[in-house]
Structure 1
Amino acid sequence: MQHSHVAVLISEPGARALSAAVLAAARAALADAGEPRILDKGVAAEIPCVAGADIDALRAALAPAPLDVAILPAEGRRKRLFLADMDSTMIGQECIDELADYAGMKPHVAAITERAMRGEIAFEPALRERVALLRGLPLSVVDEVIAKRIRPTPGGAALVRTMKAHGVYTMLVSGGFTLFTGPVSAAIGFDAHRSNLLLVDSGRFAGTVAEPILGREAKLATLIELRTELGLAASETLAVGDGANDLAMLGEAGLGVAYHAKPQVAASAHVRIDHGDLTALLYLQGYAREEFVA
């Protein structure tokens, strides 16, 4: 039997839900499945399968276990270019919402952020509206927000550093701000970062952002630009995000992953990760736990 694809099963890390019984149920749901390869005991495994394997049947067989499931081509799984969104993806927060809290505007700004990330309103005007509400806020609050409120998403550093150790170029590309992407990209280990520039006047936010705004189309353009510069095929690229402004980038990538994403994004991406941490992106590529770079 020629197994052209693999089914990848990834547990919520704390649950370690990938038991022998779960693996047996998965194999039974996959016609002509091969022997499982354990990537991390209790957490991740891959099962050789044939093209056209029914992912919905597989999910149904494994419910209600806290597992993410993907069916991917067996060849070309390890990527050579990685682009990642920042807010609510590589970090657990939305930076503009945290800044707005210092201006007493967090509920209002967070509501706009949520609508923009769900694709209910256009990203660029929503960003201008939110930035205008920050006018007069001292620039010094950025350091406090980073120190006290911004936390990397579990598994992010291992994801980036493992891929870099295998020669992958990594880019943090965000509709947020350079004041945050600079420190965050350095802390996690990205090669580079791109985002928006908040304008400052006499040590305070001017309430404006430099144009053109880096949004959905700019993220897509960044992926295409880097892919071309590196001489890569589309299939050799990986992107991850959670919001509507990530959709074009995720769709263009060889593997686009919706990470704990808004419904529209989760429904559209090649793969959705709802339970695993960011190391799930390594398991999707066939990396075993012992290959991770801490």
Structure 2
Amino acid sequence: MASSQDLSASPNLLAATLVCAPSAPALTPALARAATAAVAAARARWLAEGVALDLLIPAGPAPAEAEMRLRGALDGAPVDVIVQNAAGRRKKLFVADMDSTMIGQECVDELAAEVGLKDHVAAITERAMRGEIPFEDALRERVALLRGLPGETAGAVIAKAIRPTPGGRALVMTMRRHGARAVLASGGFTAFTSVIAAKLGFDADYANRLELDEDGRFAGTVAEPIFGAGGKLETLERLRAELGLARDETLAVGDGANDLPMLKAAGLGVAFHGKPRVAAEAGARVDHGDLTALLYAQGYAREEFLED
């Protein structure tokens, strides 16, 4: 079943990546055989035993049909399926959301916890991420509730409550090692993105700026214009143009409604544990795996990962 050939160089073929959470390997040999048979795969290659399998699919089924067949063969197992063209899988530009994507938390919710309003603010955040209310209005409403907090609260919250999502640094560092540009594009705040971007190895970060009053406390306002869905999309398209890349050479990841324009504009747009609308509309979805799933989707084997 194994082959050392790099599937990313195969023209006019599909590649399907099956991947599960590394902490709970669920991709058994039996499931691998069933999946291989379901799409009459020409070749199967383990990227990580029990965790990630690549299937090279000959001409025939469309990507959506191949994905449907594979999900049927997996019979409800907690395994993600990403189907795409085999050629050009290793991307040269990576644009990532931060909150609930590269980190496991929503920074504005954690700031609100400092004034006893986390549940209230988290409910607004959830509605905005589901696309039920405009992102910009929701952000202004939440930020207004932070008025009076010391500006240094952001640093304290990062130390106390913010944790990177497993696999994030490996994803960024591996892609950069292979020549990709990696940027963080967040509807959150620069007080957080600057720290998280440095910790995970991003080249640059873009986000909103919380305004301070003359005493160094949050003024309850955010600098305009707000960096939201349009800003994320513009960042992806501007950097792609600057680097002279084709659409297919780009990768984007996010979980909320304000990520959708960016995800749809990328060569591979991935909903990472996304809200229902995002998972339904994005080109690919990761519901079970960690962020290394985005490396496996590009055909990287586990031994190629770089973290430091």
C-alpha distance in 2, partners of 1:211/1:197? 8
Is 1:75 aligned to residue 87 of structure 2?
Answer: yes
Deviations 1:208-263 (A, max 9, x none): 00000000011001100000000000110000000000000000000000000100
TM-score (norm 2): 0.93
Structure-2 residue corresponding to 1:258: 271
Identity of aligned residues (%): 62
Match among 221, 244, 261 for residue 208 of structure 1: 221
The 8 Å contact of residues 43 and 57 in structure 2, kept in 1 or not, is answered as: no
Structure-1 residue corresponding to 2:36: 27
TM-score (norm 1): 0.97
C-alpha distance in 1, partners of 2:192/2:91? 26
Structure-2 residue corresponding to 1:288: 301
Structure-1 residue corresponding to 2:49: 41
C-alpha distance in 1, partners of 2:12/2:32? 17
Deviations 1:266-294 (A, max 9, x none): 00111100000000000000000010002
Unaligned runs of 5+ in 2: 1-10
C-alpha distance in 2, partners of 1:74/1:57? 18
C-alpha distance in 2, partners of 1:15/1:35? 25
Q: Kindly report the root-mean-square deviation, in angstroms, between the aligned alpha carbons of the 2 structures.
A: 1.0
Count matched residues: 292
Deviation, structure 1 residue 33: 1.3
The 8 Å contact of residues 44 and 53 in structure 2, kept in 1 or not, is answered as: yes
The 8 Å contact of residues 255 and 272 in structure 2, kept in 1 or not, is answered as: yes
Unaligned runs of 5+ in 1: none
Secondary structure of the residue that 2:233 maps to in structure 1? helix
C-alpha distance in 1, partners of 2:75/2:273? 18
The 8 Å contact of residues 12 and 85 in structure 2, kept in 1 or not, is answered as: no
C-alpha distance in 2, partners of 1:129/1:69? 38
Deviation, structure 1 residue 44: 0.3
Secondary structure of the residue that 1:250 maps to in structure 2? helix
The 8 Å contact of residues 8 and 284 in structure 1, kept in 2 or not, is answered as: yes
Secondary structure of the residue that 1:54 maps to in structure 2? helix
Secondary structure of the residue that 1:227 maps to in structure 2? helix
Secondary structure of the residue that 2:239 maps to in structure 1? helix
Structure-2 residue corresponding to 1:125: 137
Structure-2 residue corresponding to 1:112: 124
The 8 Å contact of residues 15 and 66 in structure 1, kept in 2 or not, is answered as: no
Secondary structure of the residue that 1:36 maps to in structure 2? strand
